[in-house]
């Protein structure tokens, strides 16, 4: 199988973060499970795969509802962010995708379009040493209609001064790919090119 490539027609590149540039899903899974153990719920891994691309508050609402917890979703989000901050040093880059970023830095405008909070996105980009490669970073805090809606990616295109059909989106999430297609952008599914890790926090 050939490696990841940039389309000859692409004039701007947009990258999802979690699961695309950052091998963060094992950390997210482990922190959710750790929280579940501490406050009394069993975390269903399936919702990560179904809801990847959505903001943490959406996960928190579902967990609270499904488990009949007596905690406000906003409080659960704060606990999750704290646990993630403590473990962010464990994340690794997906080198196949990062190679595209480094190859096209300075050649094409590039942005991040993520369902992560700005805090989480900056923590990860700093940890991976990638912050300076991107012209713009659009997070869950910057939009009101998250993936699978098109707002995240359309905002990236607007900031880069690129027409949506000229943008190539690199994504791992079903909701993100749906959003990119709905925005009329070129979509590259990175999943065949990367190896996902699986482990738990001690």
Residues labelled as active-site residues: 16
Q: What is the dihedral of CA 152, 16, 23, 191, to 10 degrees?
A: 130
Which own/partner pairs from 178-185 qualify as long-range (CB within 8 Å, at least 24 positions apart)?
A: 178/147, 178/148, 179/53, 179/147, 179/148, 179/149, 179/150, 179/152, 179/153, 180/14, 180/150, 180/153, 182/148, 182/149, 182/150, 183/150, 183/153, 183/154, 183/157, 185/14, 185/153, 185/157
**Structure token digits, residue 25:** 């899903």
Residue with tokens 């012209």: 135
Which residue, 157, 143, 161, 147, is CA-closest to 185? 157
User: DSSP labels for 57-110?
Assistant: HHHHHHHHHHHT-SS-HHHHHHHHHHHHHHHGGG-EE-HHHHHHHHHHTTTS-E
């Amino acid at each position: 199988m050939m490696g990841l490539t940039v389309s000859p027609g692409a004039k701007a590149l947009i990258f999802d973060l979690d699961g695309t540039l950052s091998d963060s899903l094992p950390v997210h899974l482990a922190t959710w499970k750790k929280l579940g153990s501490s406050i009394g719920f069993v975390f269903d891994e399936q919702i990560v795969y179904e809801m990847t691309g959505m903001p943490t508050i959406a996960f928190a609402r579902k967990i609270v509802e499904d488990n009949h917890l007596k905690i406000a979703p906003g409080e659960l989000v704060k606990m999750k962010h704290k646990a993630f901050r403590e473990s962010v040093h464990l994340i690794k880059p997906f080198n196949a995708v990062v190679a595209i970023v480094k190859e096209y830095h300075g050649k094409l405008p590039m942005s991040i379009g993520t369902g992560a909070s700005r805090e989480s996105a900056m923590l990860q980009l700093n940890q991976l040493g990638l912050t300076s490669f991107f012209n713009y970073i659009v997070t869950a805090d910057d939009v009101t209609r998250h993936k699978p809606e098109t707002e995240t990616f359309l905002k990236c295109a607007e900031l880069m001064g690129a027409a949506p059909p000229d943008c190539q989106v690199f994504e791992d999430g079903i909701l993100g790919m749906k959003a990119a297609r709905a925005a009329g952008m070129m979509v590259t599914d990175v999943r065949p090119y990367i190896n996902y890790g699986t482990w738990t926090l001690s």
